[in-house]
Amino acid sequence: MTVILVTGGAGFLGSHLCDRLVEGGDEVICVDNFFTGREENIAHLVEHPRFDLVRHDIVSPLFLEAEQVYNLACPASPVAYQFNSIKTIKTSTVGMVNMLGLAKKCQARILQASTSEVYGDPQVHPQTEDYWGHVNPLGPRSCYDEGKRVAESLCMNYHTVHGLEIRIVRIFNTYGPRMDPHDGRVISNFIRQALAGEPLTIYGDGQQTRSFCYVADLIDGLIRMMDGQETGPINLGNPAEVTIGEAAETIRRLTGSESEIVHVELPEDDPKRRCPDITRATSQLGWQPTTDLETGLARTVEAFRAAAGGQE
């Protein structure tokens, strides 16, 4: 049994990770300030003898014992991370220093949930880990992008200077059950809108692309990375690239919705193309996603329907 700290454990990815770790026999300490996390994501875990919840903001120092740290604390939706941009930067910088300090003190291995946003609006396609990116350092997304870039740098420097065991994964758009229907991300927006019979809001012409990974695949990649020998960075994502217009059509079909599709203004600095090169993940971790978009979306739609039904 390993004692594992999961920051951001009440969020979308964090709660699925807590589930998998508890199921695997580990002891999980979930730390969350509930900015975007939700109690309902972990309600089924709170009575479990190997699960502890600590309400804490990682921008303040934290002292507890753990053997592994998964640092997932940070809002991930553009709407959420731009809501309080300075807080977002503090979470990825001051919060990262605090978690690295904790890991150093406990001699724990620490995994940082980095992001495809470190590549910005990429000019190289698909994105390999050695691409340095194309980030606007002053734009509306910079609080997230630059914060995550500093976090990677902090990890690498703690590794070089203090010999800390670090793991850096760059996560590409991931979706699935327990996404907050109101978090503003594209899959959650489209499914919520389709089920409510509201128009699906495509930003811009819908020709921009993303590559969507199903949550169970991603969690498998995170655990392989933590338990493996590679420092990273390693891309984790599903290389099946689709346009946002195609994603809207697929969700409309899967929900049987008659919602119309409307086009609204494209947000500033919205990346035009995004697709991971996962050669490293495949060769170094033996990892690749196994859930195709149709299957993953169908499961997500069912979960959204069930959650909406429970609220009636």
Nearest approach, Cβ of 197 to ligand NAD (angstroms)? 26
- Which residues does 223 contact at the CB level (< 8 Å), separation at least 6? 17, 20, 21, 24
Beta bridge partners of 114: 170
The H helix count followed by the E strand count for the chain is 10, 13
Is residue 45 a contact point for ligand NAD (CB under 6 A)? no
For ligand NAD, which residue of 4, 5, 6, 14 counts as binding (CB under 6 A)? 14
Amino acid at 130: D
**Per-position x/- string for 148-177, each x denoting binding to ligand NAD as judged by CB under 6 A, each - no binding:** -----------------------x-xx---
Is residue 11 a contact point for ligand NAD (CB under 6 A)? yes
d(CA 191, CA 171): 22
The helix (run of H) or strand (run of E) holding residue 42 is: helix 39-42
* β-pair type (166-171, 51-55): unpaired
Q: Decide whether 173 or 259 has the Cβ nearer to ligand NAD.
A: 173
User: Quick one: what does residue 189 bind among ligand UDP, ligand NAD, none, with the CB cut-off 5 to 8 Å set by partner type?
Assistant: ligand UDP
Which of these is catalytic: 119, 144, 158, 214? Answer: 144
User: Quick one: what does residue 8 bind among ligand UDP, ligand NAD, none, with the CB cut-off 5 to 8 Å set by partner type?
Assistant: ligand NAD
d(CA 129, CA 156): 14
* β-pair type (241-243, 209-211): antiparallel
Is residue 222 a contact point for ligand NAD (CB under 6 A)? no
Q: Decide whether 64 or 261 has the Cβ nearer to ligand UDP.
A: 261
Is residue 75 a contact point for ligand NAD (CB under 6 A)? yes
119 a catalytic residue: no
Nearest approach, Cβ of 5 to ligand UDP (angstroms)? 26
**Sheet hosting strand 234-236, strand order edge to edge:** 51-55, 27-32, 3-7, 68-71, 109-115, 166-171, 234-236
Which residues bind to ligand UDP, rule: CB under 6 A? 77-78, 173, 185-186, 189, 201-203, 208, 210, 244, 266-267, 270
In the region spanning residues 179 to 208, those forming contacts with ligand NAD, defined by CB under 6 A, are: none
d(CA 206, CA 228): 38
User: Quick one: what does residue 36 bind among ligand NAD, ligand UDP, none, with the CB cut-off 5 to 8 Å set by partner type?
Assistant: ligand NAD
3-state secondary structure of 68: strand
Q: Decide whether 39 or 292 has the Cβ nearer to ligand NAD.
A: 39
Is residue 95 a contact point for ligand NAD (CB under 6 A)? yes
Q: Between vectors from CA 72 to CA 68 and to CA 78, what angle results, nearest 5°?
A: 170
For ligand NAD, which residue of 19, 22, 29, 33 counts as binding (CB under 6 A)? 33
**SS percent in the chain: helix, strand, coil, step 5:** 40, 20, 40
Q: Which residues bind ligand NAD (CB under 6 A)?
A: 7-8, 10-14, 32-37, 57-59, 72-76, 80, 91, 95, 113, 115, 171, 173-174
Give catalytic residues, as residue numbers.
144
